[in-house]
Amino acid sequence: NAGVMQNPRHLVRRRGQEARLRCSPMKGHSHVYWYRQLPEEGLKFMVYLQKENIIDESGMPKERFSAEFPKEGPSILRIQQVVRGDSAAYFCASSLGQPDQPQHFGDGTRLSIL
Amino acid sequence: AQTVTQSQPEMSVQEAETVTLSCTYDTSESDYYLFWYKQPPSRQMILVIRQEAYKQQNATENRFSVNFQKAAKSFSLKISDSQLGDAAMYFCAPGGTSYGKLTFGQGTILTVHP
């Protein structure tokens, strides 16, 4: 399966712990986007990365959230000291980078904070 | 910056009938792309159809077609011969030309009655 792979599918953390969400883009794609979906809402853009570069992080909360896309390996969205309000579905998408090319989405990671 | 309005939180249709989902948007970009995604209960994000804003011809993809009115900034989705598998949340998403960052609407829940 050459689609976008996200893991884990479900992640449970207690308040104050760290959450790490992983995303392997579709084969041949070097552009990754992270979106967050709160219950009953649409997806909200968080960050756009290319290999080893953060291009646009205008949707990322100023504190506790970070993202990376190293030269080797998956993209990682990291949430430190999680709080209840971080509970959401986090989707990763990848593309070829051209705006006319659709983004292909992973199945998402559902993060639950106890 | 882009904003998206989907004014129909919920819609329903009888199997084999036609339904239209509305979407209006605002954008400061002179050229852009528009997408409709569906999210079934499995929560996957699936591309339904896309439209290039510079093209006057409305996009069509099998039973799915759009009515794109650029001046009115309207981008509605028509589903013909509705099937039970069409039941999902539908999101309208314009994308900018710089690198394809998507802005999602609040979504419309479509119910298909047998």
Q: Does A111 touch chain B (CB under 8 A)?
A: no
Which of A9, A100, A111 has the most B C-beta neighbours within 10 Å, making it the best mutation to test the interface with B?
A100
Is B44's CB within 8 Å of A42's CB?
A: no
Chain B nearest-CA residue for A36:
B104
Asked if A47 and A36 touch (Cβ cutoff 8 Å), the reply is: no
**What is the structure's pLDDT at B98?**
63
Sequence-distant (6+) residues with CB within 8 A of A68 are A49, A54, A75, A76, A78
- A39 close contact with B: CB closer than 8 A: no
**Which among B100, B106, B107 is the nearest to A99, CB-wise?**
B100
User: Cβ–Cβ contacts within 10 Å for residue B41, how many?
Assistant: 8
A33/B98 touch (CB, cutoff 8 Å), yes or no:
no
pLDDT at A68: 96
Q: For position B29, what pLDDT does the model report?
A: 78
pLDDT at B74: 94
pLDDT at A86: 96
Q: What is the pLDDT of residues B44-103, one digit of tens each?
A: 899 999 998 888 889 999 999 999 999 999 999 999 999 999 999 999 998 866 666 788
What are φ and ψ of residue B32, in 5° steps?
A: -165, 180
Six token digits for residue A73 = 């390996």
The pLDDT of residue B99: 62
Size of interface A-B (CB pairs under 8 A): 66
Q: Which of B30, B102, B103, B109 to mutate to test the interface with A (most CBs of A within 10 A)?
A: B102
> Which residue in the set A56, A89, A107 is minimally distant from B101, CB to CB?
A56
